[in-house]
Amino acid sequence: MSEPANDTNAQAVDYVIEDAWQKLAGITPARIALGRAGTGLPTREVLRFALAHAQARDAVHTPFDSARMAGEIAALGFETVEIASAASARDAYLRRPDLGRRLADESRVLLRERAGGPFDLAIVVADGLSSTAIHAQAVPFLAEFKARIGETGWSVGPVAVASQARVALGDEVGELMQASAVVVLIGERPGLSSPDSLGLYLTFAPRVGRSDAERNCISNVRGEGLSHAHAAFKLAWLLKEALARRLTGVSLKDESDLLLVEGRPPSARIG
């Protein structure tokens, strides 16, 4: 047990027993080396857990500001279109995952009228299970990825800003846009130390009925995880390979990091 704190009245006593791995806790947000007080957790850790749990719940239930998001994406130079899934409200979205995977009838009509195509890539920005993540990460990521698009000359359809949406919604959007591939930017299910994590799902030849095994995923895009620049680099590499090999998913391994080893052309590095 640690020594009593230096208090002139000898009333404040620290009963917390520090964990031997305490130094490791300083290099990760993961909940490790918490210490203990008696047979339980220190009060500070109990409070931190309660805060993290509240932040995760907020991430799920905070309303998605699709109009603001569409405006910020348009400011980057992308054409945008706001759409919604068949889940009419958050409760329906959480209880009926199948509804979040299909477009609302009005959005399907809208896309048929406005989507145009064909395109090399369709982009969907979806709230998923963390609107907090989309609000924080989508625009900075797209700013990085736009530079990659400019380097390659890929044609890109209007960015679809989708409410109450799950990953598979991108299959229908990509199909309607006649896109060779679709990438869905989506708020990931919040963890207790990561309520703001963005996921990217790439699918070649999107159409309704694709399975998750036919997608490539880049996960944990956020300040404390994979940087926006690194994620944009990985997505560009995967998209280039997907278009060349005409596949994604378990048959396409992410070997983009091989370009980062010493001696490779500077243009292949993260810029």
State the pLDDT at residue 2: 47
Q: Which tens digit of pLDDT belongs to each residue from 1-31? A: 444 445 555 555 678 888 888 888 888 878 8
Q: In the structure, what pLDDT confidence band is assigned to residue 161 with cuts at 50, 70 and 90?
A: very high
State the pLDDT at residue 14: 73
Q: Are 35 and 17 in contact (CB under 8 A)?
A: yes
State the pLDDT at residue 268: 46
DSSP 4: P
Does the structure show a pLDDT above 90 at 142?
A: yes
State the pLDDT at residue 1: 44
Longest dimension (CA), the chain: 77
Q: In the structure, what pLDDT confidence band is assigned to residue 130 with cuts at 50, 70 and 90?
A: very high
Is 60 annotated to bind a ligand? Reply is no
Does the structure show a pLDDT above 50 at 211?
A: yes
In the chain, the domains with their CATH numbers are: 16-60 (no CATH), 64-259 (3.40.50.11240)
Is 3 annotated to bind a ligand? Reply is no
Q: In the structure, what pLDDT confidence band is assigned to residue 171 with cuts at 50, 70 and 90?
A: very high
CA-wise closest residue to 145 among 203, 247, 223, 227? 227
Q: Are 107 and 84 in contact (CB under 8 A)?
A: yes
Q: Which tens digit of pLDDT belongs to each residue from 237-268? A: 999 999 999 999 999 999 888 876 655 544 44
The alpha carbon torsion through 171, 172, 177, 183 (nearest 10 deg) reads -30
Q: Average pLDDT, stretch 169-178?
A: 97
Q: What is the DSSP string of 37-95?
A: BTTB--HHHHHHHHHHHHHHHHHHHSPP-HHHHHHHHHHTT--EEEEEBS--SHHHHHH
The percentage of the chain sitting over the pLDDT mark of 70, rounded to a whole number, equals: 91
CA angle 245-248-253, nearest 5°? 85
Q: Which tens digit of pLDDT belongs to each residue from 51-105? A: 999 999 999 999 999 999 999 999 999 999 999 999 999 999 999 999 999 999 9
Q: In the structure, what pLDDT confidence band is assigned to residue 43 with cuts at 50, 70 and 90?
A: very high
State the pLDDT at residue 122: 98
State the pLDDT at residue 3: 47
Is 217 annotated to bind a ligand? Reply is yes
What's the whole-number average pLDDT of the chain? 90
Q: Higher pLDDT residue, 260 or 38?
A: 38
Does the structure show a pLDDT above 70 at 204?
A: yes
Q: Please name every residue paired with 36 in a beta bridge, in sequence order, or none if there are none.
A: 17
DSSP 188: P
State the pLDDT at residue 266: 46
State the pLDDT at residue 261: 63
The percentage of the chain sitting over the pLDDT mark of 90, rounded to a whole number, equals: 73
